[in-house]
Structure 1
Amino acid sequence: MFPYFVTMKDTPKHQGLRKKLVQTLERKGIANPEVLKAIGYIPRHLFMDSGFLDHAYVDKAFPIAADQTISQPYTVARQTELLDLKRGDTVLEIGTGSGYQTAVLLEMGMQVYSIERQHELFKITKRFLPKLGYRAKKLVFGDGYKGLPETAPYDGIIVTAGAPYVPKPLLAQLKVGGKLVIPVGEHSQIMTVFNRASPTNFEKEEFGEFRFVPLLEDKN
């Protein structure tokens, strides 16, 4: 079970592997320099079980605690890029998981609110992120389908698990001009972006097929 931050270090070897990962992401079409910079800086190996350390900078998803996964770096980069946010913007993350996506958003200067519905993961990640110097505005154990209305509206909302449908509370918690980035589907998902063009109008775009663990309800 991650994390292994007590004994592990970030070595020049790890830094070199991250540089190669960034080059891989660039070849796959990731162009946002702030996204690439964050992924090139954050020690992904610290977010993973020691059994996967040799693969930490391969562009693949890997298992973590509570039968969840740490997302493929390309997926993290693509979702972050689609959010199209700037430093200081507020973002709600649905599915804290290992905290890797959270760290990317924080490294980019976002004000991050995050919800996790697996209590084991929530406890681990809430302790772990500050050890690396990453402090979200709020980490919550709860049902991501409901969002976090008490700190809404948000400049962006990112969902890091597969949703069989688009939760209406998440759309309602977006600012006008804000974007919801959500993978929608049962067995595989279509990466979907909803832009809130006005209080009552949403524009929808789709960005290809991905695979995520399912977004579960009523876990708190």
Structure 2
Amino acid sequence: MDTAAFNSSAQAGIGMTSQRTRTRMVERLREQGVRDPRVLHAMGVIPRHVFVEPALANRAYEDTALPLGFAQTISQPYVVARMIEILIQGRELGKTLEVGAGCGYQAAVLSILTKQVFAIERIAPLLARARDNLRQLKLTRIRLKHADGNLGLSEAAPFDTIILAAASKTVPQTLLAQLSPGGRLVMPLGGAEQVICLIERTESGWIETRFDAVRFVPLLAGVE
């Protein structure tokens, strides 16, 4: 993507929201083990402070989840980068579905890495906020929909990549059915104890790999 589109005051920031602060965040991600240069670049390009509450803007580049309201959070930078790096390792993301768009931050990062991003959010006011945030940055590769993420997006399926930003005790079978042959799905799996889980669709079946322990809000059904 042409990152020249980010030449705006919102992207530039000052003080704790400046490009220098984002650069420090990227260096911290590298120290934490994130190695893929594509992921590090995307994390450095997207201004996280645009997506958090104004009162929390000076904490936007800390490695912590921050509240968004509606009992939702914006994931910590390391977890966003880690999950995307797992998905992109040795391949391109291709057509991507995000379940749980929230404020739009992770969809924005994904849009730097692929041309097609579809994002579902079940909470209407939060989806409206995501639209405003993405419009502010002039990101046009993301299609948002108010829908139940458990159902996926059958009208746009199949997807090369699916990423969930909410945890479930089981892998939603509807989402697996919308995954392309050779595709990958990553999600936080579990209840009280959660791990990052990667599901790969191969010619011979499904391969599941588990990674770091994480903490996400639960994947809920229905819309609000």
Task: Tell me the TM-score normalized by structure 2.
Answer: 0.90
Pick the aligned partner of 1:80 from 65, 81, 84.
84
* 2:34 corresponds to 1:21: no
* 2:185 corresponds to 1:180: yes
Q: Which residue of 2 aligns with 1:162?
A: 167
Determine the C-alpha separation between the residues in 2 that align with 1:125 and 1:52: 17
1:21 match: secondary structure: helix
Partners of 1:86 and 1:110 within 8 A in 2: no
Determine the C-alpha separation between the residues in 2 that align with 1:202 and 1:9: 40
Deviation at 1:7, TM superposition (A): 8.4
Q: Which residue of 2 aligns with 1:102?
A: 107
Partners of 2:11 and 2:46 within 8 A in 1: no
Determine the C-alpha separation between the residues in 2 that align with 1:38 and 1:17: 15
Q: Which residue of 1 aligns with 2:211?
A: 207
Amino acid aligned to 1:42: I
Specify every segment of 5 or more residues in structure 2 that has no aligned partner in the other structure, as ranges.
Answer: 1-7
Pick the aligned partner of 1:35 from 24, 35, 39.
39
Q: Which residue of 2 aligns with 1:68?
A: 72
Pick the aligned partner of 1:146 from 141, 148, 151.
151
Greater mean deviation of Cα atoms: 177-186 or 76-85: 76-85
Determine the C-alpha separation between the residues in 2 that align with 1:54 and 1:46: 11
Determine the C-alpha separation between the residues in 2 that align with 1:177 and 1:7: 41
Aligned length: 213
Deviation at 1:8, TM superposition (A): 5.0
Q: Which residue of 2 aligns with 1:112?
A: 117
Identity %: 39
Residues 116-166 of structure 1, C-alpha deviation per residue, up to 9 Å, x if partnerless? 011110112123212211124421111111101111111100001111211
Deviation at 1:12, TM superposition (A): 5.6
Task: Tell me the TM-score normalized by structure 1.
Answer: 0.91
Q: Which residue of 2 aligns with 1:10?
A: 12
Distance 1:134 1:8, change over 3 A: closer
Specify every segment of 5 or more residues in structure 1 that has no aligned partner in the other structure, as ranges.
Answer: 1-5
- After TM superposition, which residue ranges in structure 1, 4 or more long, deviate above 3 angstroms? 6-9
Q: What do you get for the CA RMSD once the two structures are aligned?
A: 1.8
Deviation at 1:218, TM superposition (A): 1.5
